[in-house]
Chain A
């Protein structure tokens, strides 16, 4: 498969990438490329320019300090999964990164790319929303609750580049994913975090965009047991329905994954 023609530009820095994007008529940032290049090969995307930000040193770091795990947008899934610091601070986050795609995809795919793309079935958005992370860009900081705005859409503006995602360290967290056996994307994935401020439950794969389940959060704040949410059903209305599973099936899966997450984080 061959993509439409485009001009390739390798950015020397985030500032350089910003300038290259500004100069391009219809530019796209290239990070790991594990979704973008596939879409370009299918000719579903045809950017005029690709501005390559993969491998930028300034975006490739993992720092754990002051109760926060700060990860550069360019960190690959492999790097996050293999980080002993992440595994100590937020084991559920390292685990999540370790089950994205397959080993070759994890060697290329990045945190920033996954979050910016906001695929309805991607894993990272669940962690970002569940852990109440902050998305830092070249222009501002955005709270997770304001970041994911719909299917493949985010609060990112024109020329805005994610530079870091910082995850507050919870008391306990768990990620439970029911993967599609062929694609490994989440049919339903639940990221649950317990903090001193309460419980957050974020769901990916089931709907058009990652979302929280306030009813479960409230019930778990009162009693943190799987039984506390046993009676809570997710309305199937508006959930994804395809050859892999109906909306009703996914609604049920969310409940099952949530209970498993509670059991693990108890």
Chain B
């Protein structure tokens, strides 16, 4: 057991946890931030994607102790002052989800993707989504959502 300190969604946290606690369990069970989902637990599905120091990672594939001193952003930290993030807005407007289970990971991956590649075409979006699995939508509207969000965030009208 050790006390792990990090910043989560802008707030400093210090919590005692086992060395073997995966970041996803730390977030969900110790911080009660249950927006980050566990879909497969074998690092394939991407439902657990969060940002650590500004990069999208699978929180089921790193230990909480590894995030000591890091800046962690989860789906709960995206909306500001009651206003949805543009990617969240775009998913709502484009019907980018059905059951919604994969959505937190999809959105965190999309935010990271748009930051790295502001100009996205549909083919690139599909390749960038290789680490995120959705079993409802067939991806079509997820791709449309991200395409729309990238346009909105670059200031162009969609």
Chain A interface residues (CB < 8 Å from chain B): 1-8, 10, 30, 33-34, 37-38, 41-42, 50, 52, 54, 78, 101-105, 107-108, 182-184
Asked if B57 CB lies within 8 Å of chain A CBs, one says: yes
With A38-B61, A184-B130: A105-B20 Cβ-Cβ less than 8 Å: no
Interface: B68 (CB within 8 A)? yes
Q: Contact at B63–A104, with CB atoms within 8 Å?
A: no
Q: Given A8-B65, A37-B61, A54-B66, are A104 and B19 also a contact pair (CB < 8 Å)?
A: no
Contact status B109-A5, CB under 8 Å: no
Residues of B within 8 A of A1 (CB): 22, 41-42, 60
The docked-state distance in angstroms from the alpha carbon of A54 to that of B132 is 24
Closest 5 CB pairs of A and B: A102-B131, A8-B19, A102-B130, A107-B55, A1-B41
Chain B residues whose C-beta falls within 8 Å of the C-beta of A102 in the assembled complex: 46, 130-132
Question: Assuming A4-B20, A5-B19, is B58 touching A105 (CB within 8 A)?
Answer: yes
Give the interface of B toward A (CB within 8 A): 2, 18-20, 22, 25, 41-44, 46, 49, 55-58, 60-63, 65-66, 68, 109, 112-113, 128, 130-132
**Contact of A105 with B43 in the complex, beta carbons under 8 Å:** yes
Chain A residues with CB under 8 A of B68: 10
Q: Name 23 A/B residue pairs within 8 A (Cβ), A-sorted.
A: A1-B42, A1-B60, A6-B20, A10-B68, A33-B62, A34-B61, A38-B43, A41-B22, A41-B41, A41-B42, A50-B19, A78-B55, A101-B130, A102-B132, A103-B128, A103-B131, A104-B49, A104-B131, A105-B58, A108-B57, A108-B61, A108-B62, A184-B130
B62 touches A104 (CB 8 A): no
> In the complex, A238→B132 CA distance in Å?
34
What's the least CB distance linking A25 to chain B, in Å?
15
Report the separation of the CA atoms of residues A7 and B43 in the bound assembly, to the nearest whole angstrom.
22
Residues on A with beta carbons closer than 8 Å to the beta carbon of B113? 103
Give bound CA distance, A183 to B133, whole Å: 12
Q: Which of A34, A52, A102 has the most CB of B within 10 A?
A: A102
Report whether B46 and A104 are in contact in the complex, using a CB–CB cutoff of 8 Å: yes
Q: Is the CB of A33 within 8 A of B61?
A: yes
For B57, the chain A residues whose CB sits under 8 A away are 104, 107-108
Contacts of B56 in A (CB 8 A): 103-104, 107
* A104 partner residues in chain B, CB cutoff 8 A: 46, 49, 56-58, 61, 109, 131
Q: In whole angstroms, what is the CA distance A7 to B20 when docked? A: 8
CB distance from B116 to the nearest CB of A (A): 8
Report chain A residues within 8 Å CB of B60: 1, 41
CB of B112 within 8 A of CB of A103, answer: yes
A224, B51: Cα distance in complex, Å: 46
Q: Do residues B19 and A34 form an inter-chain contact, with CB atoms below 8 A?
A: no
Specify which chain B residues have a CB less than 8 angstroms from the CB of A52 in the assembled complex. 66
CB of B67 to closest CB in A, whole Å: 11
Could you list 17 further interchain pairs (A-B, Cβ under 8 angstroms) beyond the known A50-B63, A103-B112, A184-B130?
A5-B19, A8-B2, A8-B65, A34-B43, A38-B42, A38-B61, A41-B41, A41-B42, A42-B42, A52-B66, A101-B130, A103-B113, A103-B130, A104-B131, A105-B58, A105-B61, A107-B56
